[in-house]
């Protein structure tokens, strides 16, 4: 996803009352994360589970939160999602960079990249893929999910190599 | 001192300030001795009480927010100490009940006796108190409101055979009660 759209997504969500952006950096999302940094509206944590915990505390305080991470971190977070976010029905938006989407991505990303859509489905965590064309509609979808007290995930595919 | 005793003393001293309590026997003890709307009983997600507490502390600067953690719990999420110590929430009090064991899972040893949680906490900007007796606990609590956080109370406790009942509130009720209290 290009730089301009990533930066726009931050401002769009912020305008729509997402107040906290918490997570672990991912190069797929680097312009989005950079925009959070530029606007001094970010907490970078040591691990993804920690980010989910902090965002949960903020959401319990009526302050809407987004947690960003790479899908490697999503794999780290499964137990936290099932035993905290889903168990207590905490309405968080996850923004997840999809490594291993391309079949010739670096080897460490291939397995999780392959099973990620199935994992999300089995877990019952609703998700949508964000693109440069549909981002606004999908952000609105996510905002609507949390309004209905449901956690959800927005996925950004890694379409390039570096 | 045993955990239940310390839980009772601290929770009854701090009024309706939020308490985020770790999973396992910690939450069960708190539920049994002093059930309040402002208690968040974490029943899964081991290690994350400190992170949830940080999120609440950052958004509720006028309330002193208490985290009831165990040594096993904090050792699973030492990274949260780094994040708390870098954000320095003035209103956060992190209580670690240290019995050198995973008591909830059968009393297996943790490594807290072989390292210094006190030094780790000092190294990440906490104001640290090591508490080994009831009199020390009471004297620290007397001034707790005035202390500038993040504060770390490392309370040395013994293991105990005493078992509290399970938290009977559903997770959704626990969530709603806490939200109402904030």
For residue B48, pLDDT beyond 90: yes
DSSP string for A117-153: HHHHHHHT-EEEEE-TTTHHHHHHHHHHHHHTT--EE
With CA atoms as reference, report the closest residue to B95 among B123, B124, B73, B119. Answer: B73
With CA atoms as reference, report the closest residue to A154 among A18, A62, A4. Answer: A18
SS (H, E, C) B107-136: CEECCCCCCCHHHHHHHCCCEEEEECCHHH
Task: State the total domains in chain B.
Answer: 1
Q: Does B172 touch chain A (CB under 8 A)?
A: yes
| Cβ-based neighbours of B130, under 8 Å, separated by 6 or more | B118, B154, B156
CB atoms within 10 A of CB B51: 32
CA distance A42 to B63: 22
CA distance B113 to A115: 41
Query: Hey, of A51, A61, A91, which one would you mutate to test binding to chain B, going by the most B CBs within 10 A of its CB?
Result: A61
* Contact across the interface for A49 and B77, Cβ inside 8 Å: yes
3-state secondary structure (DSSP) of residue A161: coil
Q: Please tell me the predicted confidence (pLDDT) of residue B28.
A: 97
Query: Hey, of B63, B83, B172, which one would you mutate to test binding to chain A, going by the most A CBs within 10 A of its CB?
Result: B83
**Tell me: the pLDDT tens digits for A45-97?**
999 999 999 999 999 999 999 999 999 999 999 999 999 999 999 999 999 99
Rounded to two decimals, the pTM is 0.97
- How does residue B158 score in pLDDT terms, banded at 50, 70 and 90? very high
**Tell me: the pLDDT tens digits for A99-125?**
999 999 999 999 999 999 999 999 999
User: Mean pLDDT across the stretch B1-25?
Assistant: 96
User: Mean pLDDT across the stretch B13-18?
Assistant: 96
Residue B42 near residue B70, CB atoms below 8 Å: no
**Tell me: the pLDDT tens digits for B114-154?**
999 999 999 999 999 999 999 999 999 999 999 999 999 99
* Contact across the interface for B43 and A87, Cβ inside 8 Å: yes
Q: Please tell me the predicted confidence (pLDDT) of residue A160.
A: 87
- The DSSP secondary-structure symbol of B61 reads T
Q: Which residues of B touch A50 (CB under 8 A)?
A: 48, 51, 77, 79-80, 83
Window 10-69 of A: residues touching B by CB (8 A cutoff) are 43, 45-47, 49-63, 65
Q: Please tell me the predicted confidence (pLDDT) of residue A86.
A: 98
Residue A156 tokens, joined: 């950004």
In chain A, helix, strand, coil percent, each to 5?
A: 50, 20, 30
DSSP string for B18-58: -EEE-TTHHHHHHHHHH--TTEEE--SSTT-HHHHHHHHHH
* Contact across the interface for A50 and B79, Cβ inside 8 Å: yes
We report the CATH number of the domain holding residue B157 as: 3.40.50.970
**Tell me: the pLDDT tens digits for A13-43?**
999 999 999 999 999 999 999 999 999 999 9
Q: Which residues of B touch A62 (CB under 8 A)?
A: 59, 179, 182
User: Mean pLDDT across the stretch B5-27?
Assistant: 97
Q: Please tell me the predicted confidence (pLDDT) of residue B104.
A: 87
Architecture of the domain made up of A3-157? 3-Layer(aba) Sandwich (3.40)
Q: Please tell me the predicted confidence (pLDDT) of residue B125.
A: 98
Place of tokens 């996803």: A1
Element (H, E) at A21: strand A20-23
* Contact across the interface for A50 and B77, Cβ inside 8 Å: yes
Q: Which residues of B touch A90 (CB under 8 A)?
A: 175
The full set of domain ranges for chain A reads: 3-157
**Tell me: the pLDDT tens digits for B68-105?**
999 999 999 999 999 999 999 999 999 999 999 998 89
Where in the sequence is the domain holding B65, given as residue range(s)? 3-181
Q: Please tell me the predicted confidence (pLDDT) of residue B168.
A: 97
Q: How far apart are the first and last CA of chain A?
A: 14
Mean per-residue pLDDT of chain A: 97
């Amino acid at each position: 996803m290009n730089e301009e759209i990533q930066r726009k997504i931050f401002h769009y969500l912020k305008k729509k009352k997402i107040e906290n952006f918490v997570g672990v950096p991912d190069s797929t999302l680097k312009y989005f994360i950079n925009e959070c940094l530029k606007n001094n509206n970010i907490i970078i944590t040591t691990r993804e589970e920690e980010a989910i915990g902090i965002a949960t505390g903020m959401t319990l305080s009526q302050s809407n939160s987004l947690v960003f991470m790479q899908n490697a971190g999503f794999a780290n977070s499964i137990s936290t999602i099932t035993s905290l976010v889903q168990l207590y029905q905490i309405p968080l938006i996850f923004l997840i960079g999809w490594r291993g989407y391309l079949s010739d991505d670096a080897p460490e990303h291939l397995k999780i990249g392959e099973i990620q859509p199935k994992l999300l489905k089995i877990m019952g965590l609703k998700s949508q893929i964000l693109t440069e064309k549909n981002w606004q509609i999908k952000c609105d979808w996510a905002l609507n999910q949390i309004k209905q007290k449901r956690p959800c995930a927005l996925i950004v595919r890694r379409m390039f190599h570096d | 001192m045993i955990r239940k005793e310390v839980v009772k003393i601290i929770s009854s001293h701090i009024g309706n300030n939020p308490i985020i309590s770790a999973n396992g026997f910690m939450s069960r003890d708190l539920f049994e001795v002093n059930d309040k709307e402002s208690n968040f009983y974490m029943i899964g997600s081991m290690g994350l009480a400190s992170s949830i507490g940080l999120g609440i502390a950052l958004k509720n600067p006028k309330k002193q927010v208490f985290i009831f953690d165990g040594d096993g719990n904090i050792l699973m999420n030492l990274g949260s100490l780094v994040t708390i110590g870098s954000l320095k929430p003035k209103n956060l009090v992190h209580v670690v009940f240290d019995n050198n064991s995973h008591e909830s899972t059968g009393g297996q040893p943790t490594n807290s006796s072989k390292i210094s949680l006190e030094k780790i906490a000092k190294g990440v900007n906490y104001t640290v108190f090591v508490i080994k007796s009831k009199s020390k606990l009471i004297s620290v609590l007397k001034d707790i409101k005035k202390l500038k956080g993040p504060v770390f109370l490392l309370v040395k406790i013994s293991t105990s055979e005493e078992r509290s009942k399970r938290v009977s509130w559903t997770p959704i009720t626990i969530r709603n009660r806490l939200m109402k209290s904030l």
